[in-house]
Amino acid sequence: MRCNTRIPSGCAISGLMCESGDRVDGSAIIKSIALMHDRSNGLGGGFAAYGIYPRRANQYAFHMMFDDFAAKENFDEYIKDHFIVEKDEVMPTRPFGDITNPPVLWRYFLDVEEKKLEFVEDREYVVNMVMKINSDVPGAFVSSSGKNMGAFKGVGYPEEIGHFYKLEEYKGYIWTSHGRFPTNTPGWWGGAHPFGLLDWSIVHNGEISSYGINKRYLEMFGYKLELRTDTEVVAYLFDLLIRRHNLPMEMAVKALSAPFWDNIDRMEPQVKELMTAIRMVYGGALLNGPYSIILGHSRGMMGLNDRIKLRPMTCGRKDDMLYMASEESAIREIEPDLDTVWSPKAGEAVVGTLNGEVE
């Protein structure tokens, strides 16, 4: 399924989650995103997977990209001063298709020393470290930094990236994926989706027109936006709103995909007051522009469209499985016999929640 000329289209996203916590290997998500090949142009593909490191589930798994080995050596010195490195190893890859000139890909399993946490909680410490590495350590980029999860991304078509990283050898209870068609920003390895911070990951189809406002807003809270892609703000906004401000998911979603003032005017008084407050307090977090996104985190998966639905999203369920993708066919490709299939309304979140224990 490949064509030689590039046809302008749009990005592709696909996600699947087993709400009971059962784990499946990466071949299904590759098959799903590959069906939407023509929505990408070979300048970015990637995956996020949850539940892949059960034996190191309590350590922070840092998936790293380095410009060269000199950058890695420099980083190795740096990381020793800030974390306990339990294990580090080269990311398993195989040469595949058009994947050329990858950076040095390495993963680190990290613990934080007790004495570093005297004045700061460990997740906050990790976020600060990710920001520091991305902005201050030359030639080093963190592609994911959560526990028992990881991002696998690069420049290429998503199915090539999936094979390159040998995703069929990993098992996860949530898989999200992205095929990129970059429009405003460069196609480079660190700029491929998903974007991750702690266990948050975002894949995104569209563009965040409010990037400038969101970036300035996030910078006030210490986030540093270094990856030259609009989607980065979405990952950090969820971290800010949910982890740091303790908003429930449904309120965070209302801050990002806020109802229009016209609609707020017609709401019941209590809801109206709440929505007005959300819009007033979180004006800087409002995402404008066309988007459909899939958010992954350790306890679930969430799909969301912009408020006037300028990008597509279809969802489906089969037993314990929740699927969401840019096209229904991408779901049918891996589960032809769905119990239900629907297109969520603009600005309305579709939420998958982990009910069981991860095997």
Partner 1 sequence: MVMTIDAKGMYYRELNKMIRTAIEEGETEFVLDNINGQRYIGDGIKAKPKITIHGTPGNDLGVFMNGPSIEVFANGQDGIANTMNSGEIIIHGMVGDVIGYGMRGGKLMIKGDVGYRVGIHMKEYKTQVPVIVAGGCAGDFYGEYMAGGVMILLGLGAGEDKPIAGDYLGTGMHGGVIFLRGEVEEHQLGAEVAVMELDEKDVKLVTRYVTEWCGHFGYDVEEIMSEPFIKLKAVSSRPYGNLYAY
Catalytic residues: 11
SS3 call for 312: coil
Continuous segment of H or E residues that includes residue 294: strand 291-297
CB of 205 to partner 1, least distance (A): 12
Q: Report the residue number, 245 or 309, with the smaller CB distance to partner 1.
A: 309
Residue 112 to residues 66, 143, 174, Cα–Cα distance (Å): 22, 19, 26
Nearer to partner 1, 35 or 302 (CB): 35
Q: Least Å distance between CB 32 and partner 1? A: 10
* 139: CB partners within 8 A, 6+ apart: 66, 67, 68, 70, 71, 74
Given the complex with partner 1, which of 67 and 328 has the nearer CB atom? 328
Q: Token pair of 247, please?
A: 């908003």
Of 14 and 148, CB closest to partner 1: 14
Smallest CA-to-CA distance from 185 within 206, 160, 168 is with 206
Q: Which is nearer to partner 1, 274 or 346 (CB)?
A: 346
Q: Supply the minimum distance, in Å, between the C-beta of residue 309 and partner 1.
A: 5
Which residues neighbour 148 within 8 Å (Cβ) at sequence distance 6 or greater? 50, 51, 52, 53, 54, 56, 57, 61, 199, 298, 358
Work out how close the CB of 343 gets to partner 1 at its nearest, in angstroms, rounded to a whole number.
6
Question: What does each C-alpha distance from 82 to 111, 268, 285 come to in angstroms?
Answer: 9, 51, 31
Residues that bind partner 1 (CB under 8 A): 1-3, 35-36, 38, 262-263, 266, 308-309, 312, 314, 327-330, 332-333, 336, 341, 343, 345-346
Rounded distance between C-alpha atoms, residue 240 and residue 165, angstroms: 30
Burial letters 163-192, b for 16+ CB under 10 A, else e: bbbebeebbbbbbbbbbbbbeebebbbbbb
At closest approach, how far in Å is the CB of 27 from partner 1?
A: 15
